[in-house]
Amino acid sequence: MGIAPPSHVFLQAGVGAMAGGVLGYLADIYDANQLHSVVTEPELANCLYRSGIKGEIVNVDGDMPTIIAGLACGEPNPLGWTVLRNWDRQFISCQDAVAALGMRVLGNPYQKDPRIISGESGAVGLGVLAAVHYYPQRDALREKLGLTKDAVVLLISTEGDTDVKHYREVVWQGKHPTLA
């Protein structure tokens, strides 16, 4: 397609099976040491984030009232965790507003970019990128993430507007606003 290989991949995760499978594949076809991978998940179900800090599987119990319902799992998949533990560079635990920001940006594209209708789980990766862009200390975050002007970022949206009413509340009415 004439596109440079990705330097970064942002993968949303619940149990981590999809993220682990995709990252395992990308690590096989690209130099895994050159690929900067970031796993994103909801802060109320951040079992992989907590596992990344501890270095071993950590489960999250209790209620997980997040709009990122497709990722509200709480228990890492052991096979996915092994790949993520070995190859993922960063784990990010996100507030609902980050996913909502991603939904709004995808649904209201810049200039001639195509419009993408994405639900919360699929939009959280772009939400992280947009949140970094708008963060007052964005330069420090970009450096930490290795995001330079030459970065090629791969994002995968795994869902459309699975809840049409909620999608419209977020994208059209501004539900779950991002606060500076």
pLDDT digits (tens, 9 = 90+) for 58-107: 999 988 999 898 899 999 999 999 999 999 999 999 999 999 999 999 99
How many percent of the chain have pLDDT more than 90? 80
The predicted structure's pLDDT at residue 180: 55
The predicted structure's pLDDT at residue 8: 95
Domain 8-171 coded CATH 3.40.50.2300: no
The predicted structure's pLDDT at residue 142: 93
Closest CA to 130 of 89, 167, 180, 170: 180
The whole model's pTM is what?
Answer: 0.91
Delimit the domains of the chain by residue range.
Answer: 8-171
More confident residue, 31 or 72: 72
Tens of pLDDT, residue by residue over 151-172, are 999 999 999 988 899 999 999 8
